[in-house]
Amino acid sequence: MVIKVGDVFPDAILTYLPYDPANPDACGLPQQLKTHEAFKGKKVVLFAVPGAFTPTCSEEHMPGYVAGVQDLKAKGVEIVACVASNDQFVMHAWGKSYNVKDDILMLSDANGELGSKLGLVNDGTARRMGPIRLARFAIVVDDLRVTYVGVEPAPGVTVSGFPAVMAKL
């Protein structure tokens, strides 16, 4: 079953490498993020990409959020997060390539736990990308309640992009 507006966002464990402003070039120790603990009582924009450093993700999806992250925060969004099927080290490197620092939380769902609970995974085997890949989507969560779901119906970025999400806040 695919997540929908009004649903409670599922509890899942994701991983990330925290940004350290005292040592921005360091690669820290992996940390766990439990979605219910992190998202409870907060407004969250979570956007998902099939893979870090891939063309559509890097050229169309991520740049809008990087450019608009402060606009989201001005609308009351407390956490802006990007999640992909890549491991936390790749996600950290991708975030560094955009200089996101701690403005966008770069999360790994390498085991597909969150994507599976959301009903938003694809099989990337035919493209040699592994059996579990996140779909391209954006979700707005307010105190664990889903208020927007935009799942891309075809290649490209429309309903999951920054402009579509900003229009729903």
Catalytic-role residue among 57, 110, 114, 159: 57
Is it the case that residue 27 has pLDDT exceeding 80?
Answer: no
Q: Which residue has the higher pLDDT, 131 or 149?
A: 149
**What confidence tier does 60 reach under pLDDT thresholds 50, 70, 90?**
confident
Rounded to 5 degrees, what angle do the CA atoms 97, 99, 101 make? Answer: 125
Burial 106-128 (b: 16+ CB within 10 A, else e): bbbbbebbbbebbebbbebeeee
pLDDT tops 70 at residue 148? yes
Mean pLDDT for all residues in the chain: 90
Q: Tell me, what's the pLDDT at 124?
A: 58
Confidence band for 131, pLDDT divided at 50, 70 and 90: low
Q: Is 82 a catalytic residue?
A: no
pLDDT score of 132 more than 80 = no
* pLDDT at res. 133: 75
At the topology level, CATH places domain 7-19+29-167 in Glutaredoxin (3.40.30)
Dist. CA 67–CA 76, nearest whole Å: 17
pLDDT at residue number 83: 97
Q: pLDDT tens for residues 68-89?
A: 999 999 999 999 999 999 999 9
Q: Quote the pLDDT of residue 64.
A: 95
Please compute the mean of the pLDDT values over residues 146-164 and round it to a whole number.
Answer: 94
CA atoms within 13 A on the CB side of 47: 27
Write down the pLDDT at residue 16.
Answer: 95
